[in-house]
Amino acid sequence: MDSHEAEQVKRQLLNNIESNFPKDKADILKRQIMSMSDDQLESFLEKSGQQKECIFCTIASGNAESYKVDENDSAVAVLELNPVSRGHTLIVPKDHIPLENFPEEISSFARKVAEKLKEKLNPKDVEIASVNFGGHGTINLIPVYTDESINSKRHKATKEELSDVLDILVKKEEEPKKEVKREKGPKKTKEKMLWLPKRIP
């Protein structure tokens, strides 16, 4: 694991700790994670991987809070909680597999979601960057509005920001209202019945 991967893993762990532990315990755990060297972090992940499910596996299985943009049989697309830019999305395989074992359907799914980001959010481009986190490969889709990249500074998105972006990305196209066509038939007219006296021969 290189230092860039380690930094991203730390961010994911911190998010997970913040949402799953009481504040006092979360603060202690966060300090411990931040003080780890890259080697210590890798060792920690290996040990914890035997006892606890990978954070990306919990996202893919729906057991962790996430903002789902799209999904297919192989992967889910969720909004990054610490995005580089508005609409930063993670493609998370449903199986715990490294990047080198990604089937083509995951890559094509990532391209499809990148097109959705372009269409709905109108960035100049979408950067596609693949990263391994503790053996679970992920793909970052980063909308580029100015000069953002995988190495750009991140910020913690609020729930409101994430919900707003999600609404834009998953908003269904409004179907045009169908006109109800009424069958044309002969017009019914009120018939007046005339009573004539019986004819007498």
Domain boundaries along the sequence of the chain: 1-52, 66-171
pTM for this entry: 0.63
Contact at 8 Å (CB) between 142 and 150?
Answer: yes
H/E element, 136:
strand 136-144
In this predicted model, what pLDDT tens digit does every residue of 119-168 receive, in sequence order?
999 999 999 998 887 788 899 999 999 999 988 998 889 999 999 999 99
Q: How does 14-48 read in b/e, with b if 16+ C-beta sit within 10 Å? A: bbbbeeeeeeeebeebbeebeebebeebbebbeee
In this predicted model, what pLDDT tens digit does every residue of 97-132 receive, in sequence order?
988 889 999 999 999 999 999 999 999 999 999 888
| CATH architecture of the domain with residue range 66-171 | 2-Layer Sandwich (3.30)
Specify the pLDDT at position 175: 46
